[in-house]
Structure 1
């Protein structure tokens, strides 16, 4: 399953995928995580949205933003029905390869501090915590991986 750029006609499906993927975190953090309220039509128009298709629909998505000196992995979402297929590792490897292709020396990401499972997963892939801060009303853990 190879990621491809999302198409404009997929904005609603992308939004629905992300909402399904993040629904389990609403009770953990007490509100909808930021990706659940993102503007996916704008993300697609900016060329930042990548998707993976499976079983006739969207199975996973990445939102990748160029920053000064890094590629920001703003969002990774995997449909609950597509979990357990290795998509997480494949998408993380794709994001790192895309960062290298774009000439970035590192990749950055963040997650909510209450999403401890995510911090553990990212650390296992070589990401290190750089700092914690409140951003957009969320207590976030910022991480980075040199390439």
Structure 2
């Protein structure tokens, strides 16, 4: 178990957590369905595969899942694939704390850049990432998904 004072109860997900991760992510992203008219990608992801190929860390104080972050190390950066926070916990700093956690993971791996992508219609997420030091570096239109905003942050 990892010990992070800003994220009590953090642990690395295992393959046994597949249903938990899937159900939690679906609940966290449900608010976006009416915004984009479909389920966002994290709601339909293959979490059995993700748990084998990515690092997923869970924030589970008192055994109750409150947030998670999914990351994939690339040769020159750490990609944040998914940040999910329980609807009742949104707006309380957990997303920001998870981004800081990911930056610590990147530094430990010797990586100097963070990257992530999000739907162009997720304005509150884009604003959060910008407040955390991420800048937009690319935009791509992927019919029928919409516009994908690519953001990055160089670590010191």
Q: Which range, TM-score by smaller chain?
A: over 0.9
What is the match of residue 10 of structure 1? 17
Contiguous gaps of at least 5 residues in structure 2: 1-7
Aligned residues: 147
The root-mean-square deviation of aligned C-alpha atoms, in Å, is 1.6
Q: Offset of 1:137 from its aligned partner? A: 4.3
Instruction: Specify which structure has the higher proportion of strand.
Output: 1
What is the match of residue 75 of structure 1? 82
State TM-score, norm by structure 1: 0.92
SS in 2 for 1:104: coil
Contact 1:5–1:47, Cα closer than 8 Å, also in 2: no
1:146 aligns with 2:147: no
State TM-score, norm by structure 2: 0.87
SS in 1 for 2:60: strand
SS in 1 for 2:58: strand
Contiguous gaps of at least 5 residues in structure 1: none
Mapped to 1, the partners of 2:131 and 2:41 lie a distance apart of: 24
What is the match of residue 5 of structure 2? none
Moved over 3 A (4+): none
Once the two structures are superposed, the pairs formed by residues 42-53 of structure 1 within 5 Å of their partners are 42-53=49-60
Mapped to 2, the partners of 1:68 and 1:58 lie a distance apart of: 30
Once the two structures are superposed, the pairs formed by residues 22-33 of structure 1 within 5 Å of their partners are 22-33=29-40
Once the two structures are superposed, the pairs formed by residues 1-147 of structure 1 within 5 Å of their partners are 1-135=8-142, 137-138=144-145, 139-147=147-155
